[in-house]
Amino acid sequence: MQENKKPLILVTNDDGYDAKGIKCLIEVARKYGKVVVVAPEIGRSGMAHAITMKKTLTYTLLEQSEDYQLYSCSGTPADCVKIARFQILKQEPDFLFSGINHGSNSSINVVYSGTMGAAFEGAIAGIPSVGFSLLSHNPDADFSEAQKYISQIIEKVIRYGLQPKTALNVNFPKVSEKPYNGIKICHQTKGYWREEYVETSDPWDRKYYWLTGFYTNQEPENIETDEWALANNYVSIVPVHVDLTHYESINELKKQGYEA
Protein backbone atom coordinates (compact mmCIF):
# COMPACT_ATOMS: atom_id res chain seq x y z
CA MET A 1 0.00 0.00 0.00
CA GLN A 2 1.46 3.35 -1.05
CA GLU A 3 1.91 6.13 1.44
CA ASN A 4 -0.79 8.84 1.44
CA LYS A 5 -3.06 6.55 -0.56
CA LYS A 6 -6.35 5.53 0.97
CA PRO A 7 -6.45 1.78 1.59
CA LEU A 8 -9.14 -0.24 -0.14
CA ILE A 9 -11.26 -1.96 2.49
CA LEU A 10 -13.62 -4.82 1.67
CA VAL A 11 -16.48 -5.23 4.15
CA THR A 12 -18.83 -8.20 4.34
CA ASN A 13 -20.86 -10.21 6.87
CA ASP A 14 -23.23 -13.17 7.19
CA ASP A 15 -26.33 -11.39 8.51
CA GLY A 16 -27.05 -9.63 5.23
CA TYR A 17 -26.22 -6.21 3.81
CA ASP A 18 -29.09 -4.52 5.67
CA ALA A 19 -28.19 -5.74 9.19
CA LYS A 20 -27.47 -3.14 11.84
CA GLY A 21 -24.11 -4.73 12.66
CA ILE A 22 -22.63 -4.27 9.19
CA LYS A 23 -23.90 -0.70 9.06
CA CYS A 24 -22.00 0.04 12.27
CA LEU A 25 -18.85 -1.59 10.89
CA ILE A 26 -19.14 0.38 7.65
CA GLU A 27 -19.43 3.60 9.65
CA VAL A 28 -16.09 2.89 11.34
CA ALA A 29 -14.32 1.50 8.26
CA ARG A 30 -15.13 4.57 6.15
CA LYS A 31 -12.93 6.65 8.45
CA TYR A 32 -9.89 4.67 7.32
CA GLY A 33 -10.18 4.25 3.56
CA LYS A 34 -12.22 3.57 0.49
CA VAL A 35 -14.88 1.01 1.39
CA VAL A 36 -16.53 -1.52 -0.88
CA VAL A 37 -19.22 -3.63 0.76
CA VAL A 38 -20.21 -6.97 -0.76
CA ALA A 39 -22.61 -8.77 1.57
CA PRO A 40 -25.30 -11.44 1.28
CA GLU A 41 -28.71 -10.31 0.08
CA ILE A 42 -30.27 -12.30 2.95
CA GLY A 43 -28.94 -13.71 6.21
CA ARG A 44 -26.43 -16.55 5.72
CA SER A 45 -25.51 -17.36 9.31
CA GLY A 46 -23.86 -20.70 10.04
CA MET A 47 -22.56 -21.10 6.48
CA ALA A 48 -18.92 -21.38 7.63
CA HIS A 49 -16.71 -21.45 4.50
CA ALA A 50 -19.40 -22.74 2.13
CA ILE A 51 -19.22 -21.63 -1.50
CA THR A 52 -21.79 -21.81 -4.28
CA MET A 53 -20.93 -24.26 -7.07
CA LYS A 54 -24.16 -25.69 -8.48
CA LYS A 55 -26.20 -22.49 -8.70
CA THR A 56 -25.60 -19.17 -10.37
CA LEU A 57 -24.40 -16.13 -8.42
CA THR A 58 -25.67 -12.60 -8.87
CA TYR A 59 -24.74 -9.26 -7.37
CA THR A 60 -26.43 -5.86 -7.41
CA LEU A 61 -25.02 -2.37 -6.86
CA LEU A 62 -27.32 -0.78 -4.29
CA GLU A 63 -25.51 2.40 -3.33
CA GLN A 64 -22.56 4.43 -4.54
CA SER A 65 -20.89 7.63 -3.42
CA GLU A 66 -17.39 9.01 -3.13
CA ASP A 67 -15.07 6.28 -1.82
CA TYR A 68 -18.01 3.99 -1.07
CA GLN A 69 -19.95 1.23 -2.84
CA LEU A 70 -22.53 -1.22 -1.49
CA TYR A 71 -23.38 -4.47 -3.28
CA SER A 72 -25.68 -7.32 -2.33
CA CYS A 73 -24.78 -10.85 -3.43
CA SER A 74 -26.95 -13.94 -3.74
CA GLY A 75 -24.27 -16.22 -2.27
CA THR A 76 -22.55 -17.04 1.00
CA PRO A 77 -20.09 -14.81 2.87
CA ALA A 78 -17.15 -16.63 1.27
CA ASP A 79 -18.83 -16.18 -2.13
CA CYS A 80 -19.05 -12.45 -1.41
CA VAL A 81 -15.29 -12.25 -0.89
CA LYS A 82 -14.55 -14.26 -4.01
CA ILE A 83 -16.88 -12.34 -6.31
CA ALA A 84 -15.60 -9.05 -4.89
CA ARG A 85 -11.98 -10.01 -5.60
CA PHE A 86 -12.47 -11.57 -9.02
CA GLN A 87 -15.42 -9.68 -10.48
CA ILE A 88 -16.21 -6.40 -8.77
CA LEU A 89 -12.91 -4.91 -7.65
CA LYS A 90 -10.22 -3.76 -10.04
CA GLN A 91 -7.48 -4.37 -7.47
CA GLU A 92 -6.89 -6.60 -4.46
CA PRO A 93 -8.31 -5.10 -1.25
CA ASP A 94 -5.76 -3.99 1.32
CA PHE A 95 -7.91 -5.16 4.24
CA LEU A 96 -11.03 -7.22 4.83
CA PHE A 97 -13.39 -6.67 7.76
CA SER A 98 -16.35 -8.97 8.39
CA GLY A 99 -19.29 -8.34 10.74
CA ILE A 100 -20.32 -7.00 13.10
CA ASN A 101 -22.04 -10.34 13.61
CA HIS A 102 -25.22 -10.54 15.68
CA GLY A 103 -24.18 -13.37 18.02
CA SER A 104 -21.06 -15.01 19.43
CA ASN A 105 -18.30 -16.53 17.32
CA SER A 106 -16.07 -17.46 20.26
CA SER A 107 -14.83 -20.95 21.10
CA ILE A 108 -15.99 -23.71 18.71
CA ASN A 109 -18.49 -21.32 17.08
CA VAL A 110 -15.62 -20.10 14.90
CA VAL A 111 -15.81 -23.25 12.74
CA TYR A 112 -19.51 -22.73 11.96
CA SER A 113 -19.37 -18.98 11.47
CA GLY A 114 -20.09 -17.38 8.12
CA THR A 115 -18.59 -14.18 9.49
CA MET A 116 -15.29 -15.96 10.10
CA GLY A 117 -15.64 -17.96 6.87
CA ALA A 118 -15.37 -14.65 5.02
CA ALA A 119 -12.38 -13.62 7.17
CA PHE A 120 -10.67 -16.95 6.44
CA GLU A 121 -11.28 -16.45 2.72
CA GLY A 122 -9.48 -13.13 2.97
CA ALA A 123 -6.64 -14.66 4.97
CA ILE A 124 -6.17 -17.41 2.37
CA ALA A 125 -5.67 -14.67 -0.22
CA GLY A 126 -3.08 -12.93 1.97
CA ILE A 127 -5.40 -10.05 2.89
CA PRO A 128 -5.19 -8.93 6.54
CA SER A 129 -8.68 -9.89 7.72
CA VAL A 130 -10.71 -9.48 10.90
CA GLY A 131 -14.09 -10.89 11.91
CA PHE A 132 -16.08 -8.91 14.50
CA SER A 133 -18.98 -10.33 16.55
CA LEU A 134 -21.19 -9.11 19.40
CA LEU A 135 -22.75 -11.47 21.96
CA SER A 136 -26.31 -10.42 21.15
CA HIS A 137 -28.73 -11.78 18.58
CA ASN A 138 -31.00 -8.74 18.96
CA PRO A 139 -31.49 -7.18 15.49
CA ASP A 140 -31.36 -3.78 17.20
CA ALA A 141 -28.36 -4.56 19.44
CA ASP A 142 -26.24 -1.75 20.86
CA PHE A 143 -22.93 -1.67 18.94
CA SER A 144 -21.74 1.71 20.24
CA GLU A 145 -19.20 0.34 22.73
CA ALA A 146 -17.92 -2.18 20.18
CA GLN A 147 -17.39 0.54 17.59
CA LYS A 148 -14.88 2.32 19.86
CA TYR A 149 -12.76 -0.81 20.06
CA ILE A 150 -13.15 -1.60 16.38
CA SER A 151 -11.48 1.73 15.62
CA GLN A 152 -8.51 0.79 17.83
CA ILE A 153 -8.20 -2.64 16.24
CA ILE A 154 -8.46 -1.36 12.66
CA GLU A 155 -5.78 1.25 13.36
CA LYS A 156 -3.39 -1.44 14.63
CA VAL A 157 -4.11 -3.79 11.72
CA ILE A 158 -3.47 -0.98 9.23
CA ARG A 159 -0.26 -0.01 11.03
CA TYR A 160 1.22 -3.44 11.73
CA GLY A 161 -0.59 -5.84 9.40
CA LEU A 162 -1.10 -9.49 10.39
CA GLN A 163 0.87 -12.70 10.10
CA PRO A 164 0.47 -14.49 6.73
CA LYS A 165 -2.68 -16.61 6.38
CA THR A 166 -3.90 -15.34 9.77
CA ALA A 167 -7.11 -13.55 10.71
CA LEU A 168 -8.36 -12.09 13.97
CA ASN A 169 -11.53 -13.42 15.60
CA VAL A 170 -12.80 -10.52 17.70
CA ASN A 171 -15.79 -10.91 20.03
CA PHE A 172 -17.49 -8.25 22.12
CA PRO A 173 -19.50 -8.85 25.31
CA LYS A 174 -23.11 -7.80 25.29
CA VAL A 175 -23.36 -4.16 26.32
CA SER A 176 -24.32 -3.64 29.97
CA GLU A 177 -24.29 -0.74 32.41
CA LYS A 178 -20.48 -1.00 32.71
CA PRO A 179 -18.05 -0.21 29.88
CA TYR A 180 -15.81 -3.01 28.67
CA ASN A 181 -12.77 -3.74 30.83
CA GLY A 182 -10.46 -3.63 27.82
CA ILE A 183 -9.03 -6.09 25.30
CA LYS A 184 -7.63 -9.53 26.09
CA ILE A 185 -5.58 -11.60 23.63
CA CYS A 186 -6.79 -15.18 24.08
CA HIS A 187 -6.81 -18.67 22.70
CA GLN A 188 -9.94 -20.47 21.56
CA THR A 189 -11.82 -22.09 24.43
CA LYS A 190 -12.09 -25.88 24.40
CA GLY A 191 -15.81 -26.49 24.26
CA TYR A 192 -18.59 -28.10 22.26
CA TRP A 193 -22.27 -27.92 21.48
CA ARG A 194 -24.55 -30.71 22.66
CA GLU A 195 -27.06 -30.64 19.82
CA GLU A 196 -30.66 -31.68 20.14
CA TYR A 197 -33.50 -31.67 17.63
CA VAL A 198 -37.02 -30.63 18.53
CA GLU A 199 -39.46 -32.83 16.62
CA THR A 200 -42.84 -31.57 15.52
CA SER A 201 -45.31 -32.12 12.68
CA ASP A 202 -46.83 -30.04 9.90
CA PRO A 203 -50.60 -30.03 9.09
CA TRP A 204 -50.10 -33.15 6.94
CA ASP A 205 -48.51 -35.00 9.85
CA ARG A 206 -45.06 -34.91 8.25
CA LYS A 207 -42.35 -34.67 10.88
CA TYR A 208 -39.80 -31.87 10.79
CA TYR A 209 -37.03 -30.79 13.15
CA TRP A 210 -35.55 -27.64 14.69
CA LEU A 211 -31.91 -27.73 15.75
CA THR A 212 -31.29 -26.61 19.32
CA GLY A 213 -28.82 -27.49 22.07
CA PHE A 214 -26.51 -26.04 24.68
CA TYR A 215 -22.86 -25.09 24.89
CA THR A 216 -20.40 -26.78 27.26
CA ASN A 217 -17.22 -24.95 28.28
CA GLN A 218 -14.54 -27.55 29.04
CA GLU A 219 -12.17 -25.12 30.75
CA PRO A 220 -14.32 -22.50 32.54
CA GLU A 221 -11.55 -21.44 34.94
CA ASN A 222 -8.89 -20.85 32.26
CA ILE A 223 -8.29 -17.09 32.20
CA GLU A 224 -6.44 -17.32 28.86
CA THR A 225 -9.56 -18.28 26.89
CA ASP A 226 -11.98 -16.18 24.91
CA GLU A 227 -14.98 -17.46 26.89
CA TRP A 228 -13.40 -16.34 30.17
CA ALA A 229 -12.57 -12.93 28.72
CA LEU A 230 -16.11 -12.39 27.46
CA ALA A 231 -17.68 -13.59 30.73
CA ASN A 232 -15.52 -11.02 32.53
CA ASN A 233 -16.49 -8.15 30.23
CA TYR A 234 -13.33 -8.08 28.11
CA VAL A 235 -13.16 -7.86 24.33
CA SER A 236 -11.55 -11.12 23.19
CA ILE A 237 -9.12 -11.38 20.27
CA VAL A 238 -8.07 -14.82 19.05
CA PRO A 239 -5.60 -15.01 16.15
CA VAL A 240 -6.69 -17.87 13.89
CA HIS A 241 -4.99 -19.32 10.82
CA VAL A 242 -5.97 -21.43 7.85
CA ASP A 243 -3.37 -24.19 8.34
CA LEU A 244 -5.33 -26.95 10.09
CA THR A 245 -2.33 -29.28 10.45
CA HIS A 246 -1.92 -30.74 13.95
CA TYR A 247 1.87 -30.67 13.92
CA GLU A 248 2.28 -32.59 17.17
CA SER A 249 0.68 -35.64 15.53
CA ILE A 250 3.04 -35.83 12.55
CA ASN A 251 5.92 -37.65 14.26
CA GLU A 252 3.49 -39.73 16.29
CA LEU A 253 1.77 -41.01 13.14
CA LYS A 254 5.14 -41.73 11.53
CA LYS A 255 6.21 -43.78 14.55
CA GLN A 256 2.95 -45.74 14.35
CA GLY A 257 3.85 -46.87 10.84
CA TYR A 258 1.32 -44.97 8.76
CA GLU A 259 3.95 -44.16 6.16
CA ALA A 260 4.60 -47.06 3.78
In the chain, count H helices and then E strands: 6, 11
Cα separation, 49 vs 111, whole angstroms = 8
Please list, in sequence order, all residues whose beta carbon lies within 8 angstroms of the beta carbon of residue 86, skipping any fewer than 6 positions away: none
Count Cα neighbours of 82 within 13 Å in the Cβ-side half-sphere. 15
Q: Say which CATH topology domain 8-189+220-255 has.
A: Stationary-phase Survival Protein Sure Homolog; Chain: A, (3.40.1210)
The candidate with the shortest Cα–Cα distance to 235, out of 190, 191, 169, is 169
CA 238 to chain centre: 12
The per-residue pLDDT for 175 is 86
- Say what the pLDDT of residue 2 is: 52
Average pLDDT per block of 10 residues along the chain, 260 residues long? 79 97 98 98 94 96 97 98 98 98 96 97 98 96 95 97 97 90 97 92 94 92 97 97 95 92
Determine the pLDDT at residue 44: 94
| pLDDT score for 260 | 75
Rounded Cα gap, residues 14 and 99, in angstroms: 7
Backbone dihedral angles phi then psi of residue 192, each to the nearest 5 degrees: -155, 160
Beta strands in the chain (DSSP E): 8-12, 34-40, 59-65, 68-73, 95-102, 129-134, 166-172, 183-185, 191-201, 207-217, 235-241
Which one-letter amino acid corresponds to residue 199? E
User: Buried (b) or exposed (e) across 11-23, using 16+ Cβ within 10 A?
Assistant: bbbbbbbebbbbe
Query: Residue 4: its pLDDT value, please?
Result: 62
Positive or negative torsion for Cα 167, 140, 143, 234: negative
Q: Indicate the residue type of 238.
A: V
Task: Report the distance separating Cα 213 and Cα 2, nearest Å.
Answer: 49
Cα 63 from Cα 249, distance rounded (Å): 50
Question: What are the sequence ranges of the domains in the chain?
Answer: 8-189+220-255
